[in-house]
Structure 1
Amino acid sequence: MRQASVTPHSTLYEQVAERLGEAIAAGTLRAGDRLPSVRQLSASERVSVSTVLQAYLHLESLGLIETRPQSGHYVRQRERPLPAEPQVSRPAALATPVSVSALVARVYRAANDPRIVPLGAALPSSALLPTRRLNRELAAIAREAGEVAIEYDMPPGCLALRQQVARRSLDWGCPLAPEDFVMTCGASEALHLSLFAVARPGDTVAIESPAYYGTLQAIEAQGLRALEIPSHPRHGMELDALEAALTKRKVAAVLVVPSFSNPLGSCMPEENRQRLVEMLAGRGIPLIEDDIYGDLHFGPRRPRPAKAHDKEGLVLLCGSFSKTLAPGYRVGWVAPGRFREKVELLKFAQTVATPTLPQLAIAAFLRDGGYDRHLRTLRRRLEAQVRQVVEAVGEHFPEGTRATRPEGGSLLWVELPRKVDALVLHARALEAGISIAPGPIFSAQKRYGNFIRLSCGFPWSPRLEGALATLGCLARNMA
């Protein structure tokens, strides 16, 4: 039996069960396969027979395996019902002041507790990331770079990394030059700088609804107003609704996540991206495009950014390596078009520079092809994990639950029956050792009171399935 990472604080039988559960999830053990006998597994795992029996009982209680009298234990064939998809969102057509930070802080205060099952975290598990390889790159550069490694890397930032990102833009179908990019401290800073560059306090910014709470916090921090636009769970922002809104009120900018939005996981069709860019260009309105999930597509091709249709320099394209490579490195970028000089000055005023060593390490990783190999594996793992979470929601959650069908990224948006209060469910889930992201933090209007966002960024395991079963039970009791 291969060794797998196990959850801190889990008991010995839970560790054995997790390893078997991961083998089932990965397809190493398939439906109908016979598991090792109790004595065989006891010997290979170097645990007692009673520990193995407990592990098998635990897996059986989760529906992963079944016991056949006088035959042994087998991987169970499960036909799981898939929930229906949510409808198009219908926010009120109001430009709303934003005040979500206090709620976000309350929700995420316990997010770093290792005892909590992190179903609310919007990041991939470190088990899916090339940590050792990056650490080797970082150590080698620290030894060899000399003084360069500890000096400020003034805006626009590390040339070696800007060159690598520019080369990748050819694959996006959006060829950009190294001088088109400004390196930032993650995509969050890229979005903040973009908003500063195109809007002033009191201005209105049109956004998807639901929208990532970090976007709402950025709008709140700058004293802007949010205009929530209806969004389709598969196709993203409804452009007819946006166009109607633009005829009625002045909008300083539009901010969207065309590729696998947070929290919907929607992917805007190519023709809609072109229409969006042309619609805004005709009105002289900047488009801030958050492309942080673009590399995490499940299909054969990466979606082209809306920036590929930009002829006026009005699209500010933002991205980072936080969701694909190293969240803690905090390395992102923005290609701000005609606003480049202003963004560079704002970058220097806010944080002076992006840390040098992480930029150099990522540049080296990209240069030798390691990033593309890693992405191929990461995308396969995330696609499988999203499917498993959707199936678990269909099996364990109350009747009437709906869930999105993301074609990329690592997030799932779940609509619960109307009687289920997402904030109350969040509190009860935390008491059970599970974190979720409740719907109201994804709306300036505090909508989506019966919605939650679930993370699919962690390897499938009995502990994860058990948490989803518990969450479903809590929701059923409330419904």
Structure 2
Amino acid sequence: MKKFRYLALEEQLRHKIKSQRFKEGEKIPSVRALCQHNELSKATVLHALQRLEAEGLIYAVPKSGYFVSQTLVQRNLPTKVTTPSTPTQVNVPELFRDIMSRSAAFDILPKEGAPHVTSHQKTLNRMINRAARARPEQKSNYYDEPKGQLPLREAIAELYRQRDTEILPESLCITAGCQHALFLSIMATCKTGDTVAVESPAFYGVLQQIEHLGLEVIEISSDPSTGLDLDELENKTKNWPIKACIVTPNFSTPTGSKMPPSAMQRLISLAQDKDFFIIEDDIYGELNFDNEPCLPIKAFDNCGRVILCGSFSKCLSRELRIGWVSTDRLQDKIVQLKLITQLASPQAAQGGLSEFILSGNFKRHTNQQRQRLKTQRDELLREIEKHWGKNCRFSYPNGGLSCWIELPQHIDTQRSYRQLLTKGIVLTPGPLFSANGLYKNHMRLSFSHPLTEHRRAALHVLFNTLLNQVV
């Protein structure tokens, strides 16, 4: 994997902005100065600046240069919470199953319903139906090969190639979604009683799997902008031997954080030094709002330490339970575990999906999806900032589906769950994202649905109910 020089400059400037070495409204060094100081071409410097501009960190003034955006620097991000220093067993609250039973993982008002199916999703359905009609006797009487159909694995490998990541189709195994892919990866790397490191706040689906497999978890603090705290991870690996580190580097749920390329490389080096696997959840990798290739950790993996997991459920359709695992060193074990837990993948869905990708429909769909989600993110965060900005902190993700809200210390989001249900509102409380019951005054909000008038009214009821909690 070649190292792109614009990424190094982009990361350097982002760090200076977020650490406020460049103050709000301050002009950053000129293009000429950046070229000379970093020994870069003008095109490379402009590419880095345009990416930071798309992220909203800087803005251009004609004939004057680039300046640091004021609103983003002023915004208070959620604070990092100190995590316990020792591993613990997981006990996922019953609340998780209640939320899932209401189909409300990413919607505070599920009764409002979703927007119409897009034209590209309709095209996908037609392609799946056409694939189902082709050779029906084959599909009815024979299982698919364990790894999954080769055309689909080739199509997925091509999607990663477009993200500057080389993956061989032979290293891919098709799964029943990303949750299944993560489950296979954890089983392949751990046995009962082992310790797994997770970013904190963590994806509650992973915590549920860790609980089921009888593993212990050690939480690693995560910055709402840059993700996993690698200093903390390194310190904890000195005292506790971990078998795997599960991380979502690109727009993780719930914070929407994005790990810089240098941190990805450092994580791989640490995994090699401490002998553990990195299980990468790349489910949001196609949902970056700056329309540039979004590098996974796997792009930097030259020692086989990264097990890459993903699916199409968040970027294309929840109904499409098709995911994948890519690993070099544990491929045979992953395929064996798939045979045990699923046996085979549905052939028609794979056939229709591979045609959908190779015809260019997938890229056209995700381009539209990214723009729609970016607009919905802006609408949601503007509403929060306008009405409750003085009473909460919130993340500002540049991709994915969700943001992380921190409320005053005395508020317990879980306490108001049942009360809000009586009004048809489903909130996702912070403690769901921790094995140690942290984040009681936090919640996840999603911008995966439009902020209709009904959802806007529900958002006001949600915040007012929480902020009016009696101490």
TM-score by length of 2: 0.80
Cα distance, 1:80 vs structure 2: 13
1:334 equivalent among 306, 325, 337: 325
Compared CA separation, residues 408 and 105, structure 1 to 2 (3 A): same
1:88 aligned to 2:80? yes
Query: 214-223 or 305-314, which moves further after superposition?
Result: 305-314
Cα distance, 1:438 vs structure 2: 0.5
* Cα distance per residue 1:318-356 (max 9 Å; x no partner): 000000112112000000220000000000011101211
1:170 equivalent among 161, 170, 195: 161
1:140 equivalent among 123, 130, 141: 130
Query: Which residue does 1:253 correspond to in 2?
Result: 244
Compared CA separation, residues 112 and 87, structure 1 to 2 (3 A): closer
Any conservation in 2 of the 1:411–1:453 contact (CA below 8 Å)? yes
2:310 equivalent among 309, 314, 319: 319
* Cα distance per residue 1:38-83 (max 9 Å; x no partner): xxxxxxxxxxxxxxxxxxxxxxxxxxxxxxxxxxxxxxxxx99986
Compared CA separation, residues 443 and 178, structure 1 to 2 (3 A): same
Residue 221 of structure 2 aligns with an amino acid whose one-letter code is P
Any conservation in 1 of the 2:108–2:458 contact (CA below 8 Å)? no
Query: Which residue does 2:282 correspond to in 1?
Result: 291
Q: Which runs of 5+ in 2 are unaligned?
A: 1-70
1:412 aligned to 2:403? yes
Residue 109 of structure 2 aligns with an amino acid whose one-letter code is V
Query: Which residue does 2:121 correspond to in 1?
Result: 131
Distance in 2 (CA, whole Å) between partners of 1:130 and 1:396 is: 36
Q: Which runs of 5+ in 1 are unaligned?
A: 1-78
Query: Which residue does 2:189 correspond to in 1?
Result: 198
- How many matched pairs? 399
- Superposed, 1:21-32 pairs within 5 Å as none
Cα distance, 1:147 vs structure 2: 2.7
Q: Please report the RMSD computed on the Cα atoms of aligned residues, expressed in angstroms.
A: 2.5
Compared CA separation, residues 126 and 195, structure 1 to 2 (3 A): farther
Cα distance, 1:119 vs structure 2: 10
Once the two structures are aligned, what percentage of the paired residues are identical? 35
Cα distance, 1:102 vs structure 2: 2.3
Cα distance, 1:130 vs structure 2: 3.3
Cα distance, 1:167 vs structure 2: 1.0
Any conservation in 2 of the 1:120–1:453 contact (CA below 8 Å)? no
Compared CA separation, residues 145 and 367, structure 1 to 2 (3 A): farther
TM-score by length of 1: 0.79
Any conservation in 1 of the 2:392–2:407 contact (CA below 8 Å)? yes
Any conservation in 2 of the 1:81–1:395 contact (CA below 8 Å)? no
1:106 equivalent among 88, 92, 98: 98
Cα distance, 1:398 vs structure 2: 7.2
Distance in 1 (CA, whole Å) between partners of 2:379 and 2:74 is: 10
Any conservation in 2 of the 1:392–1:469 contact (CA below 8 Å)? no
Query: Which residue does 2:144 correspond to in 1?
Result: 153
Compared CA separation, residues 434 and 385, structure 1 to 2 (3 A): same
Query: Which residue does 1:430 correspond to in 2?
Result: 421
Compared CA separation, residues 395 and 81, structure 1 to 2 (3 A): farther
2:267 equivalent among 270, 276, 297: 276
Cα distance, 1:148 vs structure 2: 3.4
Any conservation in 1 of the 2:112–2:454 contact (CA below 8 Å)? no
- Aligned partner of residue 327 in structure 1, secondary structure: coil
- Aligned partner of residue 434 in structure 1, secondary structure: coil
Compared CA separation, residues 340 and 126, structure 1 to 2 (3 A): farther
- Aligned partner of residue 348 in structure 2, secondary structure: helix
Compared CA separation, residues 139 and 154, structure 1 to 2 (3 A): same
Distance in 2 (CA, whole Å) between partners of 1:395 and 1:147 is: 59
Distance in 1 (CA, whole Å) between partners of 2:139 and 2:115 is: 28
Any conservation in 2 of the 1:296–1:379 contact (CA below 8 Å)? yes
